[in-house]
Amino acid sequence: MSQLQDAIQKLARDAVVKFVKKDQVVGLGSGSTAAHIVREMAGLDFKNTLECVPTSLQIKVEAEKSGLRFADESRIPDIDVVFDGADQIDGGFNMIKGGGGALLREKILISAAKKVVIVADEGKFVKSFSRSVPVEVHPMARTAVAGMLQKAGGMPAMRTLEKGYPFITENGNVILDTTFALIGDPRKTEMELKSIAGVMEVGIFTRRADAYYKAKAGGTFEVIY
């Protein structure tokens, strides 16, 4: 195990101990860091009192292996804490998410949760965004939305699989990974892109989390509140 992976495992244990309590509804984001959280939750002696809401099939399968219970969508307004990762976190703690394609479901959970805990390695923390923004789009609107994104100063590219087939989200939508020269005001950009007809969700997340766990290459981690 690398020192960075060791750091992620340690911080996952710390995050679960600090933020998961008996009888809670817990939202589970997507990706490898969320998988570490799931494995730590599996070791809790009160895990059978928890109800989990996963954002992707990947994490649902991981949670099933760990013997965790699931809640249906009616429990989303009651989520006590959601754990998730990030593709980038800027100096103002805005995030770009959606590299795995679950941005719509992740935004729903993060918007509803009482507490949000973000787990990421130190390389994801940047001064300003330097990667494309995933934009989830209804298939019928992909051409129209691509044109609107260009007018907004973006360079959209449809996300594809290895053999060139379009990447389809678990909601049946496509993703336009859109590059901008500069995102000076993430909240304004998020709202402007979401106002385009056919855009289902935007991978800019501007809600401030309650805690950010930063895994470091030396095997340690830092918590930012």
pLDDT tens per residue across span 188-199? 999 999 999 999
Q: Which two tokens stand for residue 10?
A: 């340690």
- pLDDT, position 4: 87
* Angle at CA of residue 33, ends 85 and 137, nearest 5°: 45
Does 34 share its domain with 64? yes
Range of the domain at 82: 3-125+206-224
pLDDT tens per residue across span 41-66? 999 999 999 999 999 999 999 999 99
Does 16 share its domain with 103? yes
* Cα–Cα distance for residue pair 168/173, rounded to 1 Å: 5
CATH number reported for the structural domain that contains residue 54 in this entry: 3.40.50.1360
Q: What is the mean pLDDT of residues 16-36?
A: 93
Does 65 share its domain with 96? yes
Does 106 share its domain with 177? no
Does 37 share its domain with 115? yes
- pLDDT, position 108: 97
Does 197 share its domain with 110? no
- pLDDT, position 203: 98
Q: Which two tokens stand for residue 147?
A: 């044109």
Average pLDDT score over the chain: 95
Domain count, the chain: 2
Q: Point out the catalytic residue in the list 40, 106, 136, 201.
A: 106
Residue 142 one-letter amino acid: R
* Cα–Cα distance for residue pair 211/205, rounded to 1 Å: 15
Q: What is the mean pLDDT of residues 2-7?
A: 89
**φ and ψ at residue 59, rounded to 5 degrees:** -75, -30
Q: E strands of the chain, at which residues? A: 25-28, 51-54, 81-84, 88-89, 95-96, 115-121, 133-137, 154-158, 174-180, 199-202, 204-205, 211-215, 221-224
pLDDT tens per residue across span 105-157? 999 999 999 999 999 999 999 999 999 999 999 999 999 999 999 999 999 99
Does 144 share its domain with 187? yes
Q: Above 70 in pLDDT, residue 1?
A: no
Does 79 share its domain with 189? no
Does 28 share its domain with 120? yes
106 part of the active site: yes
Give the CA count within 13 Å in the CB-facing half-sphere of 52: 29
CATH number reported for the structural domain that contains residue 192 in this entry: 3.30.70.260
Does 165 share its domain with 216? no
* Angle at CA of residue 210, ends 81 and 29, nearest 5°: 45
Q: Above 70 in pLDDT, residue 200?
A: yes
Does 38 share its domain with 138? no
Percent over 90 (pLDDT), the chain:
92
